[in-house]
Amino acid sequence: MANPTRGWRRVRLAAVVVALVLCAAFNALWIFEDSLKPQDWQALVTWVNLLFLTLAFTAIAIVARWRRQTSRLRRAAQSLELRLGDFEREARVLETIQSVSTAFLAKVHIQPLLRQMSEAAHQILDADATVVELVGEPGVFEPITLASGTVQVVLGQGVHDEVVGQGKSILLNNLGEHPRYADLARQGLRSMLIAPFKHGEHVLGLIGAFMSTERSFGGHDLRVLHTFATHTSLLLESAALLDAVRRLSLRAASDQVDDLRHLRDRLSIERELADREYAVARRIQAELLPHAFPPLRESALDALMLPAREVGGDFYDVIPLGDGAWGIVVADVSGKGIPAALVMVMTRVLLRAASARPSPREALLEVNRELFEQTTGDVFVSIFYGVWDDAARTLRYTNAGHEPPLLVHGQAASFLPRGGVALGAYRDIDVILTEATLELASGDALLLYTDGVREAMNRQGLMYGLERLSAVAVRAVAERQPLVAALRDDLNRFVTHAEQHDDITLLALQGR
């Protein structure tokens, strides 16, 4: 849309240009008067007059054009102001209805709803008086009439017959000219606006606005009142439905209370049985874990297992192999709870039976074949199995998809390769599993752990992580502290009583 201010600037500029041109033309006439012939002088005067007229008409046309544009812009601005006022009033209507609806549905009281609708209509329509009347239904709604404003209004039978009886809306601005509504005119009212609120074709009540001054109502006011009426009827229907549901709920409550009591007693019994079963499982799992570690000459063993639930799928083991050799195991069964604990027991038994094999690799290959044949295929076990020769201070080991062990040497720490694949996932893993040998010097330490250690989370959702694990391990070894105890204390400080989501298992082999 054009800018009127800029247009008038252009008109003024054109007027200045016309004045300058005319001034220059008339000065030129006087300068050249003596040097021109009479016929040339007349021709020059004619052309100057034509130029003057052309410029004058052009200026007049420009002025007229911008006056028309300015007039259109003023009318457009006035129209926009009126539309903006309508939009603002509609926004106030919707905000009011939303507020009333929220408060109503929170408490479901009819009378406060009608009073708020009456007050909101009175304020938005700027009426002298408003009336909200609920006709009432036996067993559902009681009749209610509420009014707002400084003028008392008695509707009369004529209004009820037309609005309630026929479901019509009324918009009248000269009540004195309508004998049917003479009673309202005698009350000092000059304008009336009434709309019914319905349930289907059934009229539930009405909402009306009245003026006693010269101000009148228009079509937009009627749309506003219809909006109030529509939402009032919707909220009344909701109230009726909620009341029906409440009555049904009260009738069924006594039956449901008895059912809930029986269900509570049954759940209590089942919970008690489950607690006893978990207690047995915890005792069995605890008995399967080593209670003491062998008194080794060149090294020291220590371990810890904390299940995330009553029982877990992690386990560790120390298997005596004879001639100063010991099998060292840390494993993590997929899943948690009783199913994982059962697979854990099976894996422990199979590994102990396979520990007679000449190498850790062959032992794990045999365990994998048994697990693959005896489980459903959706259960697998990550496991680290090594044979420690205490006299030679060497560890022959195979890692089957387990967390990479942490080797601490002096002030440095490094992770061994993860390697391999978890047992029970595939039938043939001969080409995947490998075997390696590690020499543990005096003062060195090897830490085996499950993923529950590095994934332990505090209340802020931060993980413990391998970096902190390495730092704590290096510090503990340098200070000649028991590695498992130092890590357990640091884990407790980190999680600060946050919920444990996975089993935590640690096993440390420290050289003397």
Q: Please give the Cα distance from 484 to 290 (Å, whole number).
A: 15
Q: What is the pLDDT of residue 43?
A: 73
| CA 92 to each of CA 100, 119, 355, 437, 482: distance values in angstroms, whole numbers, following the listed order | 12, 13, 81, 80, 72
Q: What are phi and psi of 256, to 5 degrees?
A: -70, -35
d(C-alpha 396, C-alpha 303), whole Å:
19
Residue 99: HSE in the Cβ half-sphere, 13 Å Cα cutoff:
10
Host H or E run for residue 64: helix 38-107
Q: Name the residue among 325, 327, 441 with its Cα closest to residue 390.
A: 325
Exposure of 348 by Cβ count < 10 A (0-12 exposed, 13-18 middle, 19+ buried)?
buried
Q: Residues of the chain with pLDDT > 90: what percent?
A: 27
Give the whole-angstrom CA distance, residue 402 versus residue 331: 7
Using alpha carbons, select from 306, 325, 218 the residue that is nearest to residue 316.
306
Q: Which amino acid is at 210?
A: F
pLDDT confidence of residue 342:
82
**Per-residue model confidence as pLDDT tens digits over 145-169:** 777 787 778 888 878 888 888 888 8
Q: How far apart are CA 476 and CA 300, in angstroms?
A: 14
Determine the pLDDT at residue 34.
61
According to the model, what pLDDT value does residue 252 have? 56
Dmax (CA) for the chain in angstroms is 144
- Domain boundaries in the chain? 4-92, 108-247, 293-511
What's the mean per-residue pLDDT of the chain?
79
pLDDT digits (tens, 9 = 90+) for 14-38: 666 666 666 666 666 666 656 666 6
Q: Say how far apart CA 67 and CA 61 lie, in whole Å.
A: 10
* pLDDT digit string, tens, across residues 416-433: 987 889 999 888 899 999
pLDDT at 6: 59
Residue 396: CA count within 13 A, CB half-sphere: 16
Q: What is residue 67's predicted lDDT score, i.e. its pLDDT?
A: 73
pTM of the predicted model over 0.85:
no
pLDDT of residue 384: 96
pLDDT in tens, 435-470: 999 999 988 999 999 998 999 998 888 999 999 999
The one-letter amino acid code at 65 reads R
Q: Give the CA radius of gyration of the chain.
A: 47
Beta carbons within 10 angstroms of residue 324's beta carbon: 15
Q: What SS3 state is found at 495?
A: helix
Q: How far apart are alpha carbons 141 and 197 in whole angstroms?
A: 14
Question: Do the beta carbons of residue 309 and residue 281 sit within 8 Å?
Answer: no
Same fold? 108-247, 293-511: no
Helix (H, G, I), strand (E, B) or coil at 510: strand
Q: Give Cα 194 to chain centroid, integer Å.
A: 43
Res 99: pLDDT: 61
Instruction: Answer yes or no: are the C-beta atoms of 501 and 308 closer than 8 Å.
Output: yes
Q: Name the amino acid, one letter, at 46.
A: T
330 forms bridges with which residues in the sheet?
A: 316, 384
Please tell me the predicted confidence (pLDDT) of residue 24. 65
Nearest to 163 by CA among 150, 149, 180: 180
Q: pLDDT at position 162, please?
A: 83
293-511, CATH topology level: Phosphatase 2c; domain 1 (3.60.40)
Would strands 394-400 and 381-389 be described as parallel, antiparallel, or unpaired? antiparallel
Q: How much is the pLDDT for 434?
A: 94
CATH of span 108-247: 3.30.450.40
pLDDT of residue 145: 77
Q: If you count them, how many residues does the chain have?
A: 512
pLDDT of residue 265: 77
Per-residue DSSP letters for 263-284?
HHHHHHHHHHHHHHHHHHHHHH
Q: What is the pLDDT of residue 344?
A: 86
Q: Which stretches of the chain drop beneath a pLDDT of 50?
A: 1-2, 104-107
